[in-house]
Amino acid sequence: MNERTKQLAKIAQLEHCVSHDRLQEFANLIIKDVILEIGSSKIQHCALTTHDLGVVNCVDAKITNHLLSTFGIKQQFGVFNECIS
């Protein structure tokens, strides 16, 4: 395991006992970590125009919402822009 995975496993208390609840918490921590990375990425480097920035924000929001709904995570992290489907 890499260092970040080890840290998340420790937070989810997987070192000594693996249960359904702890595995779910571990999975949630991984998804939350991905969502936080998406939200904190420097998107201005991907966008050359204001329109591009809007598209990038929209894609970020769609990916984040997909992860949250697919994995049943109720808590929203950060501020994500809404866009038209």
Q: Identify the H or E element spanning 37.
A: helix 20-40
Q: What is the pLDDT of residues 45-75, one digit of tens each?
A: 777 788 888 888 888 888 888 888 887 776 5
pLDDT of residue 7: 81
pLDDT recorded at residue 1: 63
What was the pLDDT predicted at 44? 64
- The alpha carbon of residue 52 and the mean position of all alpha carbons in its chain are separated, in whole angstroms, by 22
Mention every residue, 6+ apart, whose C-beta is less than 8 A from residue 26. 8, 9, 12, 14
In the predicted structure, residue 85 carries a pLDDT above the cut 60: no
pLDDT of 37 over the 50 cut: yes
4-27 per-position pLDDT tens digit: 777 888 888 887 777 778 888 888
